[in-house]
Structure 1
Amino acid sequence: MESIANFYGFRSVLRLIVLCAFLCSLGCKTKNEQSANAVGVEKEAYAKGSFGYDREFLSKHYKDLVVLENGESSILISPELQGRVMTSTASGDEGKSFGWINHDLIASGEKKEHFNPTGGEERFWLGPEGGQYSLYFEKDAKFELDNWYVPKELDTEAFNLVRSREDKAFFEREMKLVNYTGTTFDLRVQRNITLLDKEDAAEILGLNIPETLKMVGFASENNLTNIGPEDWDKKTGLMSIWILSMFNSSDQTTIIVPFKKGDEDILGKKVTDDYFGKIPSERLQVQDSVLFFKADGKERGKIGISPQRALPVIGSFDAKNRVLTIAMFSLPEGATDYVNSLWELQEFPLSGDAVNAYNDGGGLGPFYELESSSPAMDLKSNESSSHIHQTFHFVGDEGELDKLAKGILGVSIRELSNE
């Protein structure tokens, strides 16, 4: 009997050991799963396409990001990418991210030789792109894509963050650039970014902003100083400040460009629409004083407005997401010398555009661009000039957005939402 009791006692102990091991394995598995969720298998905190998603993504790939915020309105700036405004939101971290970002290229860590299209809602460039005074082609090179290089100072090299506070950030960079003719430019760039609120927007745009609309706005003041010993003049080529804004497109996004109405014999043609081949009429509708350009990111096309025709405003409307975007910029009255960026030796190198818009062909995006340029800068040694570009996104009721569009762009957007 004692041996039987010992046997059954041993079996009980064995069962207890097995049970404990089983429970331990469950607990260990749970801890391992928790560890995997915390470290190995990351669960995204925000949906792709949101500001929070882009902020977390960019923070993994760039150092010292600067966030300016006021309530739900925020913008994100990268010193590593020339003080570039990468994106913005009018509705906090969960709100729509307005800037187009090339997630795949950034995540790859690849550095391309010619140009790194990392994206960003507002970036600083210099013109001209093509012609005998180009900053993007070496001396005597053919104007072909294989010979086109974006200066590293405007592509991969950082600007210095001088200082920042809650609603402002100040950046600076000195650089030496050589144009197609061999002229060397020593210059200092100062780029100051300011987050704007509704009161600022109302003053700049000249009308009240309804409280029911959500808004984010920011301004960049871009200053260029000739720090070299020689004056800059037309004989050796001039530069201009060129601001390019890349936005996420949709099938229902339309670029809206108002321009001066008038006789072509006096003001010249209304629009240049053949940069990359003639844009078909179903994608570009040109009226007496406004044009509508489809911005779905599916077919490559670019338009330009001359300084004789240009107004200091351009916009777009995304009917799908009910977003009205406005860009306002410096347009000095009477200035007509703008650098020509066509890829050819030019008869008139100062007959370029003041305003441009671009729709991507789907190779990278989909995205579209709203662009503005300063006049050509014939700066004496130690002389400076500046160009201001302001961006606003309004989100909300279509009726309220329509009132804004009429007041700012002079057109109704209701018909665009029905296309």
Structure 2
Amino acid sequence: MKKHLSILVLFAAVTVITACQKKNQSEQNSVEQKLTEGTFGYDLAFLNQYKKTIVLHSPDNSGAQAILVADYQGRVMTSTADGGQGNSYGWINYGLIKSGEHQPHMNAFGGEERFWLSPEGGQFSIYFKKGKSFDFENWQTPAIIDTVSFAVSESDSSSATFEARAMIENHSGNTFVIEIKRKITMLDQPSILSGLDIAALGNCKSVAYESVNAVKNVDAEWKPETGMLGIWLLGMFRPTEKTVIIAPFSKKLSDKPLITDDYFGKIPSDRIKVADSTVFLKADGKFRSKIGIAPRSARNVAGSYDSEKGILTIIQYSLLPEEKYLKSSWEIHKDPYNGDALNAYNDGKLEDGTQMGPFYELESNSSTRALKTGESLVHRQRTYHFEGDPASLNDISQKVLGVNIEQIGEIFE
């Protein structure tokens, strides 16, 4: 009799647990259905189903928030200037995350700022094993920046710090043992104003955060002749028909702008424009194209403007124009330390008709140097988003990027 009662109790418990799980899943689905896709609340509800998230809030107690995921190397998945119902700025690969599967070569989970390492190609590449040719079949993103979770060492309401350790071998057979530390901190309005050297935001809502990224050498001294590493930050954002990337360049250190615009072949003239000291690239997620600006020509800012939604995005990053920057093209390099400081990418269909996105990217690279044991590379980047009336956005764009909002909106018309 007691045995039968125990079985009945166990069965009842399992039934209750199952019912609760179904109820919770139903409630979660219901929450998602009430939220509109493209909003911050929708993305938070989605991510919470599959990963543990960290939500950071602006110290101003405004609606500015950001979502971080330690399992995705402490990346910033998305942010908003206006709470749960506000626009979500980061591109998220819902299908891949929902599948729970890992893809070959790279897992494009999305996120508006992810931590990567360089170089990608060349004799010192860490994406191609020794003896392998530089083609897609042999390209493999190192696990430490693809599938390995970072540990959360510190966190509070407005910041979080992530750490990891890795051993990586490059295409020349040289091995690196490194420690990675990455801290994300939300910025308040005074920090936004001082960081961009602007007087006021006008009629704009804003969100901004800073990432401080360090790679520490815990093994033998790095040498230029056997390869060195760099820090590479990439942000994936939501494209629209009216989104344009803005990449200002400087003529102080080089009369001729050092710009690369043929990574995937020639970009059609209706998709790229060079006017005065700015490169404009169409960011509609419909044509695969990429540009790079060398450190001697780059400025420490770049951005994008979506005239359809009235969203201005700016990245601001560490720039050391006299130092070495790693080259990442898929070939053996004559000068492997003559790479880009800034890259921008518009997604599009591959030759087989498939497409990862659509999204567009703003990317910054650190310089590199021969680290002794115990020394570190440090690369900082700030990401800002502004939403508001065109006049206020124009004031910010003119001051920071040197271009008029109307010019951006009309450049490809």
Q: More displaced, 238-247 or 207-216?
A: 207-216
Listed one character per residue, the Cα deviations across residues 62-94 of structure 1 (whole Å, up to 9, x for unaligned) are 12x111013200000000000000000001000
2:89 to 90, 98, 104: 98
Give the Cα–Cα distance (whole angstroms) in 2 for the partners of residues 59 and 39 of structure 1: 13
- Equivalence for 1:15: none
What is the rounded CA distance, in whole Å, between the counterparts of 1:383 and 1:36 in structure 2?
48
Q: CA separation in 2, counterparts of 1:83 and 1:234?
A: 29
Counterpart residue number, 2:111? 120
Aligned to 2:282: 294
Map 1:241-260; keep pairs closer than 5 Å.
Answer: 241-260=231-250
Give unmatched runs, 5+ long, in structure 2: 1-21, 350-354
Letter in 1 for 2:385: H
Deviation at 1:36, TM superposition (A): 11
Question: What is the CA distance between 1:110 and its match in structure 2?
Answer: 1.7
Distance 1:311 1:378 in 2: 24
Q: Which residue of 1 aligns with 2:345?
A: 358
Indicate if the aligned counterparts of 2:28 and 2:45 stay in contact, CA closer than 8 A: no
CA distance in 2, matches of 1:175, 1:74: 30
**d(CA) in 1 for partners of 2:23, 2:110:** 34
Q: 1:211 Cα shift?
A: 4.7
Among candidates 210, 216, 233, match of residue 201 of structure 2: 210
Q: Which residue of 1 aligns with 2:11?
A: none
Alignment TM-score, normalising by the size of structure 1: 0.88
Matched, 1:135 2:121: no
> 1:388 matched to which residue of 2?
380
- State the one-letter code of the partner of 1:55: L
Task: Give the Å deviation of 1:41.
Answer: 6.6
In structure 2, the residue matched to 1:403 is: 395
Residue aligning to 2:261? 273
- Cα contact 2:154–2:161 (8 A) shared by 1: yes
Q: What is the rounded CA distance, in whole Å, between the counterparts of 1:298 and 1:208 in structure 2? A: 37
Contact 1:170 1:193 in 2 (8 A): yes
SS in 1 for 2:50: coil
* Shift in CA distance, 211/288, structure 1 to aligned 2, threshold 3 Å: closer
Q: Which secondary structure state, in structure 2, belongs to the residue aligned with residue 129 of structure 1?
A: coil
Residue number in structure 2 paired with 1:347: 334
Task: Tell me what 1:50 maps to.
Answer: 39
User: Within the alignment, does 1:318 sit opposite 2:311 as a pair?
Assistant: no
Q: For residue 407 of structure 2, what is the aligned residue in structure 1?
A: 415
Residues 105-184 of structure 1 mapped to structure 2, 5 A cutoff = 105-184=96-175
**CA–CA separation in structure 2 for the residues paired with 1:408 and 1:352:** 24
Shift of 1:415: 2.5
* TM-superposition CA deviations, 1:310-341 (whole Å, max 9, x none): 11000110000000000000002522x11010
Q: Distance in 1 between matches of 2:163 and 2:267?
A: 38
Q: Which has the larger radius of gyration?
A: 1
The 8 Å contact of residues 220 and 389 in structure 1, kept in 2 or not, is answered as: yes
* Inter-partner Cα distance in structure 1 for 2:379 and 2:28: 46
Deviation at 1:308, TM superposition (A): 1.0
Q: Secondary structure at the match of 2:302?
A: strand
Give yes or no for contact 1:327–1:391 (8 Å, CA) kept in 2: yes
Match of 2:318 in 1: 330
Q: In the alignment, which residue of structure 2 is the partner of 1:308? A: 296
- Aligned counterpart, 1:12: none
CA contact (8 A) 1:218 1:392 kept: yes
2:326–2:340: 8 Å Cα contact kept in structure 1? yes
Task: Return the letter of the residue paired with 1:134.
Answer: S
Unaligned runs of 5+ in 1: 1-33
Residues of 1 paired with 2:187 and 2:122: CA distance? Answer: 37
Is the CA contact 2:204–2:388 (under 8 Å) kept in the aligned structure 1? yes
Partner of 1:185: 176
Residue pair 2:261, 2:267 contacting (<8 A) in 1 also: yes
Whether the 8 Å CA contact 2:295–2:320 is kept in 1: the answer is no
Secondary structure of 1:293's match?
A: strand
RMSD over aligned CA atoms reads 1.8
Report matched runs for 1:1-20 at 5 Å.
Answer: none
The alpha-carbon distance between structure 1 residues 225 and 416, as it changes in their structure 2 partners (threshold 3 A), is: same
Q: Which amino acid aligns with 1:52?
A: G
Q: What corresponds to 2:5 in structure 1?
A: none
Q: C-alpha displacement at 1:35, in angstroms?
A: 6.9
Cross-structure match for 1:62: 51
Are residues 100 and 39 of structure 1, via their aligned partners in 2, closer, same or farther at CA, if it must alter by over 3 Å? closer
**C-alpha deviation, 1:416, in angstroms:** 2.7
* 1: CA distance, partners of 2:152 / 2:28: 34
Q: How many residues align?
A: 381
Contact 1:78 1:84 in 2 (8 A): yes
Q: Percent identity?
A: 43
**In structure 1, distance between residues paired with 2:28 and 2:228:** 53
Equivalent residues of 1:307, 1:354 under 8 A apart: yes
State the one-letter code of the partner of 1:260: S
When residues 259 and 42 of structure 1 are mapped into structure 2, their CA distance, relative to the original with a 3 A threshold, is same
> What amino acid sits opposite 1:315 in the alignment?
G
Contact kept? 1:261, 1:288, Cα under 8 Å: no
1:373 and 2:360 aligned: no
Measured after TM superposition, the shift of residue 208 of structure 1 is 2.2
- Partners of 1:119 and 1:66 lie apart in 2 by 16
Whether the aligned pair in 2 keeps the contact of 1:122 and 1:243 (CA below 8 Å) is: yes
**Which residue is equivalent to 2:226?**
236
AA partner of residue 252 (structure 1): K
